[in-house]
């Protein structure tokens, strides 16, 4: 394998060498270039030239001047250098000390004119230059520049330069050869669909850089860097390496380590090489980038480590993004990824992406195959720690803070919850849920106190104070049930029943809905199970009969559960009831039963969408009944979008629902309810960002991700040399003939194996071949000569993996392509097997 590669590389280098030696096509421009010999173009003092002028560039002349004049000559030389670097003001300023009577006054004028000339201000240039002494060097330079630039006789005030000098100046300023060569490189047409920069272009660029290096460094550098970036878009790492080796990278990536890192990670199986380049950048290049602040450097290291983590998390499963076939592939190395993310956080603690990635990585671990209960618990602890870290680093992080507050409520760590609530209230947040946290804290406190008999009075008074700060966007229907539950907790059942009846009448709930609400309140107030038992049996009965309950009652129950969901006050023990009611509701809606369209039904739709009660493994999309509702009601639309945002593999569906996002965003502007107004805006903004991100990623990765493609490094000949003229075609044929012969010979000797026909009979061999499943030794699977053809065929059949709407379509499992080494090993194994079988048959025959 290695020798084949080495041979191939040697051949490639030979071809390149030949190409480099080949003369470029003759043109007037190239003739000019040869004649001018720019590298040898240096100032030479003329015989009769004034010493002061020659002193500007010739040390011998300078030494013959007085010390004052020597200092002025040096000033002029430095000023010219400043002009060259673009520091015009500084250049003019530096010559102010030269007196008008000084012999260097002419140079002062010249520099002023030169600045005007470079600033494309011919008036300033000519105003200064026409005052120059015609017989001195500054006037000659000025005259040459004006003639070369304006291509006409400017004035008789300056002596006209020679045609050769004008030509030279023209070459220096307009660079016709350089531009022509660059255009030729840009115009190369590629035959291979994946080729963006061919080997022949590399050779042309190398020649351009050699010839014009001294002419226009800035352009050559920018042009070469662009060529490297173009090569970044093709799966041919040899061309990329050929370019990055001699070309200096931009200021922030001088050795192309960062781009190489990004490039190699596009290939499957080259993550280690990519990581090495990334580490080279961090350890060797980054410390030398003095133009970056230390904060930016740390942020850069942090971001690179996050990409390392991303590489570690990348699954070998091509369908991982769609959540498919997970059982067929190994899980990623989560621990290693976690280490990288922790390093990223350590390097730059204000990296929000790092915390989010850490939480995401930990959450993924909860779904790892075969995870134990204990393992789950440990991961959950880590998730909480990561969320605490995120909230510490970003105190304005509302969503995670709310999650943590709920978690602390559930764990009855009200002190921690209170601390977080105070932090959030200091920030004057717009989120109505965040604003309602003091109210929620009171409700939770009342519920906690209600668990103990001696806390009932305090719980009652806290409930009363909660009533005064009850959020406007939430109905108070449940409050009387909570108070009634406290009465039952105190042991007064008759009063409890009376209060429940009153509460039902006040909110217009019938018996079924009232009992469901009462049961929820009793659970939250921590009533003992013997007191809950009778009500539990009643509600269990409703759950069993859910298929037969009037659908309007189910809607009322749904509306109540939606309120509980919005408040985040659903009791753990009530989730089973809730989901059973939800599933019964969705099943009846699916069967075509449609209730009256009112607020309660909309709430129910929001509730079912939020929890995706309709979801099954076979039909992850929304059911038909909700489609017209989500088109017409922004609340339902936002609930559907919200549920999709929570799903990991829902981005395609989310993209399909783009018009809904616009509708919800529009509704946010006119919505009066503070809760929905905020919810609409948040969901629509998040969905929009996710879609933009997905579409951006798509446009970046399409045709750019080489994971499924072979590195074309060894197929450069297919791509390069695009000239179709007769002589080029003939030359290519000449070049290919001997190579083809060498290839044939080497492949025949190294890869094919002889059919064992000498020792055994043909029939016998065929029988064993059948047994081993070998149809034909010439079969492609075992011989690599035809591999190229196969690849071509694959290319032709290859779609870009997207349907007409630009959505990713799941492709069938990619065919397993054997590497050369694998093919050899397989061949060897088959040969051995064949010989073994034949010899054992022979032995058996002898014995019998």
Partner 1 sequence: MSNSSTNAYTILGVTHHSTPAEVRQAYLAMVRLNPPDRDADKFREIHSAYQILSDPLVQAESILTPPREPPDLGATIAVAEKKRPRLSTLALLALGNLE
Residue 332 and residue 462: Cα distance in Å, rounded? Answer: 50
- The contact mask relative to partner 1 for 135-154 (x = CB under 8 A, - = no) is --xx-xx--xx---------
| Shortest Å distance, C-beta 123 to partner 1 | 18
Longest dimension (CA), the chain: 126
Secondary structure class of 511 (helix, strand, coil) = helix
DSSP-derived secondary structure for 515-546: HHHHHHHHHHTT--HHHHHHHHHHHHHHHHTT
Contact indicator for 810, 818 with CB cutoff of 8 Å:
no
Q: What angle do CA 112, 115, 117 make, to 5 degrees?
A: 110
Nearer to partner 1, 229 or 731 (CB): 229
User: Could you say which of 204, 242, 243, 259 contacts partner 1 (CB under 8 A)?
Assistant: 259
Residue 22 and residue 6: Cα distance in Å, rounded? Answer: 24
User: Could you say which of 80, 105, 279, 691 contacts partner 1 (CB under 8 A)?
Assistant: 80
Is 551 among the residues that bind partner 1 (CB under 8 A)? no
User: Could you give the C-alpha distances from 652 to 378, 610, 620, in angstroms and in order?
Assistant: 33, 18, 12
Task: Give the end-to-end CA distance of the chain in Å, rounded to a whole number.
Answer: 45
User: Could you say which of 34, 81, 771, 789 contacts partner 1 (CB under 8 A)?
Assistant: 81
Is 298 among the residues that bind partner 1 (CB under 8 A)? yes
Nearer to partner 1, 175 or 571 (CB): 175
Q: What angle do CA 378, 381, 383 make, to 5 degrees?
A: 110
Nearer to partner 1, 295 or 410 (CB): 295
- Which H/E stretch holds residue 160? none
Residues 263-282 interacting with partner 1 (rule: CB under 8 A): 263
Residues 687-726 interacting with partner 1 (rule: CB under 8 A): 689, 692, 696, 699-700
| Shortest Å distance, C-beta 137 to partner 1 | 4
Contact indicator for 297, 286 with CB cutoff of 8 Å:
yes
Residue 637 and residue 639: Cα distance in Å, rounded? Answer: 5
Is 42 among the residues that bind partner 1 (CB under 8 A)? yes
Stretch that binds partner 1, among 14-22, 164-172, 334-342, 670-678 (CB under 8 A): 164-172
Instruction: For residue 411, give the nearest of 444, 385, 389, 378 by alpha carbon.
Output: 444
Stretch that binds partner 1, among 51-59, 324-332, 706-714, 765-773 (CB under 8 A): 51-59
Residue 440 and residue 428: Cα distance in Å, rounded? Answer: 17
**3-class secondary structure per residue, 288-356:** HCCCCCHHHHHHHHHHHHHHHHHHHHCCCCCCHHHCCCHHHCCCCCHHHHHHHHHHHHHHCCCCHHHHH
Nearer to partner 1, 317 or 400 (CB): 400
Number of residues this chain uses to bind partner 1 (CB under 8 A): 81
Is 258 among the residues that bind partner 1 (CB under 8 A)? yes
| Shortest Å distance, C-beta 43 to partner 1 | 4
Residues 344-403 interacting with partner 1 (rule: CB under 8 A): 348, 350-351
201 is written with which tokens? 């272009």
Is 37 among the residues that bind partner 1 (CB under 8 A)? no
Stretch that binds partner 1, among 241-249, 285-293, 640-648, 671-679 (CB under 8 A): 285-293
Residues 204-223 interacting with partner 1 (rule: CB under 8 A): 214-216, 218-219, 222-223
Is 232 among the residues that bind partner 1 (CB under 8 A)? yes
Is 174 among the residues that bind partner 1 (CB under 8 A)? yes
Residues 6+ apart with CB under 8 A from 837: 768, 771, 772
User: Could you say which of 24, 30, 32, 49 contacts partner 1 (CB under 8 A)?
Assistant: 49
Residue 186 and residue 196: Cα distance in Å, rounded? Answer: 10
Nearer to partner 1, 83 or 564 (CB): 83
| Shortest Å distance, C-beta 339 to partner 1 | 20
Instruction: For residue 681, give the nearest of 706, 700, 698, 663 by alpha carbon.
Output: 663
Is 256 among the residues that bind partner 1 (CB under 8 A)? no
Is 53 among the residues that bind partner 1 (CB under 8 A)? yes
Is 169 among the residues that bind partner 1 (CB under 8 A)? yes
User: Could you say which of 233, 319, 394, 649 contacts partner 1 (CB under 8 A)?
Assistant: 233
Residue 208 and residue 224: Cα distance in Å, rounded? Answer: 10
User: Could you say which of 247, 300, 357, 522 contacts partner 1 (CB under 8 A)?
Assistant: 300
Instruction: For residue 127, give the nearest of 138, 113, 115 by alpha carbon.
Output: 113
Is 173 among the residues that bind partner 1 (CB under 8 A)? yes
Is 41 among the residues that bind partner 1 (CB under 8 A)? yes
| Shortest Å distance, C-beta 674 to partner 1 | 25
């Amino acid at each position: 394998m290695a020798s084949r590669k080495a041979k191939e590389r040697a051949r490639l280098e030979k071809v390149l060498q030949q190409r480099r030696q080949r003369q470029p096509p003759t043109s007037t421009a190239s003739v000019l270039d040869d004649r001018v010999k720019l590298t040898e173009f240096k100032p030479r003092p003329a015989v009769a030239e004034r010493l002061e002028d020659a002193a500007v560039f010739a040390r011998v002349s300078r030494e013959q001047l007085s010390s004052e004049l020597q200092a002025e000559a040096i000033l002029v030389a430095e000023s010219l250098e400043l002009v060259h670097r673009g520091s015009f003001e500084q250049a003019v300023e530096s010559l102010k000390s030269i007196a008008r009577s000084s012999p260097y006054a002419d140079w002062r004028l010249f520099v002023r004119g030169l600045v005007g000339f470079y600033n494309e201000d011919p008036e300033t240039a000519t105003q200064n230059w026409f005052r120059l002494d015609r017989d001195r060097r500054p006037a000659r330079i000025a005259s040459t520049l004006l003639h070369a630039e304006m291509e006409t006789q400017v004035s008789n005030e300056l002596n006209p330069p020679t045609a050769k000098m004008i030509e030279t100046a023209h070459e220096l300023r307009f660079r016709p050869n350089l531009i022509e060569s660059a255009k030729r490189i840009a115009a190369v047409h590629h035959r291979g669909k994946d080729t963006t920069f061919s080997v022949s272009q590399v050779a042309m660029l190398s020649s351009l850089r050699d010839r014009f290096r001294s002419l226009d460094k800035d352009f050559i550098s920018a042009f070469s860097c662009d060529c490297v970036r173009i090569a970044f878009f093709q799966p041919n790492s040899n061309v990329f390496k050929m370019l990055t080796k001699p070309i200096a990278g931009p200021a922030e990536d001088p050795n192309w380590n960062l781009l190489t890192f990004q490039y190699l990670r596009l290939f499957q199986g080259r993550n280690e090489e990519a990581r090495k380049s990334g580490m080279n950048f961090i350890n060797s290049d980054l410390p030398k980038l003095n133009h970056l602040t230390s904060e930016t450097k740390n942020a850069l290291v942090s971001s690179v480590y996050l990409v390392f983590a991303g590489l570690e998390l990348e699954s070998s499963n091509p369908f991982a993004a769609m959540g498919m076939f997970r059982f067929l592939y190994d899980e990623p190395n989560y621990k290693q990824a976690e280490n990288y993310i922790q390093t990223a956080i350590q390097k730059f603690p204000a990296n929000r992406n790092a915390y989010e990635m850490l939480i995401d990585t930990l959450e993924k671990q909860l779904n790892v195959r075969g995870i134990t209960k204990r393992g789950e618990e440990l991961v959950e602890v880590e998730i909480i720690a990561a969320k605490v870290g995120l909230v510490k680093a970003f105190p304005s992080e509302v969503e995670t803070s709310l999650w943590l507050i709920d978690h602390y409520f559930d764990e009855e760590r009200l002190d921690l919850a209170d601390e977080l609530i105070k932090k959030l209230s200091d920030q004057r947040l717009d989120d109505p849920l965040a604003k309602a946290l003091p109210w929620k804290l009171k409700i939770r406190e009342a519920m906690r106190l209600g668990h103990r008999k001696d806390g009932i009075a305090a719980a009652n008074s806290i409930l009363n104070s909660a009533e005064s700060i009850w959020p406007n966007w939430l109905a108070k229907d449940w409050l009387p049930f909570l108070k009634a539950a406290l009465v039952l907790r105190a042991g007064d059942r008759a009063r409890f029943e009376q209060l429940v009846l009153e509460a039902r009448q006040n909110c217009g709930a019938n018996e079924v809905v009232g009992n469901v609400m009462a049961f929820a309140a009793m659970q939250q107030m921590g009533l003992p199970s013997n007191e809950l038992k009778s009500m539990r049996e009643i509600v269990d009965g409703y759950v069993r009969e859910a298929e037969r309950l009037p659908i309007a009652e189910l809607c009322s129950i749904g509306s109540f559960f939606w309120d509980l969901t919005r408040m985040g006050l659903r009791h753990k023990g009530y989730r089973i009831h809730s989901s059973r009611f939800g599933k019964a509701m969705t099943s009846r809606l699916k069967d075509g039963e449609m209730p009256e369209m009112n607020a309660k039904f909309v709430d129910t739709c929001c509730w079912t969408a939020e929890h995706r009660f309709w979801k099954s493994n076979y039909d992850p999309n929304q059911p038909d009944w909700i489609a017209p509702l989500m088109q017409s009601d922004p609340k339902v639309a936002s609930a559907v979008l919200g549920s999709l945002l929570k799903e990991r593999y829902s981005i395609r569906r989310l993209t399909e629902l783009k018009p809904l996002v616009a509708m919800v965003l529009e509704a946010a502007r006119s919505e009066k309810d503070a809760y929905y107004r905020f919810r609409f805006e948040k969901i629509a903004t998040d969905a929009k960002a996710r879609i933009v991100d997905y579409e951006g990623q798509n446009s970046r990765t399409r045709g750019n991700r080489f994971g499924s493609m072979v590195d074309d490094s060894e197929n450069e000949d297919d791509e390069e040399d695009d000239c179709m003229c007769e002589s080029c075609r003939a030359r290519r044929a000449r070049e290919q003939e001997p190579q083809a012969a060498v290839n044939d010979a080497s492949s025949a000797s190294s890869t094919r194996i002889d059919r064992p026909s000498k020792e055994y009979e043909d029939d016998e061999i065929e029988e064993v071949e059948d047994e081993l499943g070998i149809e034909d030794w010439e079969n492609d699977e075992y011989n690599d000569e035809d591999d190229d053809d196969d690849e071509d065929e694959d290319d032709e059949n290859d779609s870009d993996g997207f349907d007409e709407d630009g959505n990713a379509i799941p492709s069938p499992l990619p065919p397993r392509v054997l590497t050369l080494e694998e093919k050899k090993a397989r061949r060897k194994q088959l040969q051995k097997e064949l010989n073994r079988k034949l010899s054992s048959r022979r032995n058996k025959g002898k014995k019998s």
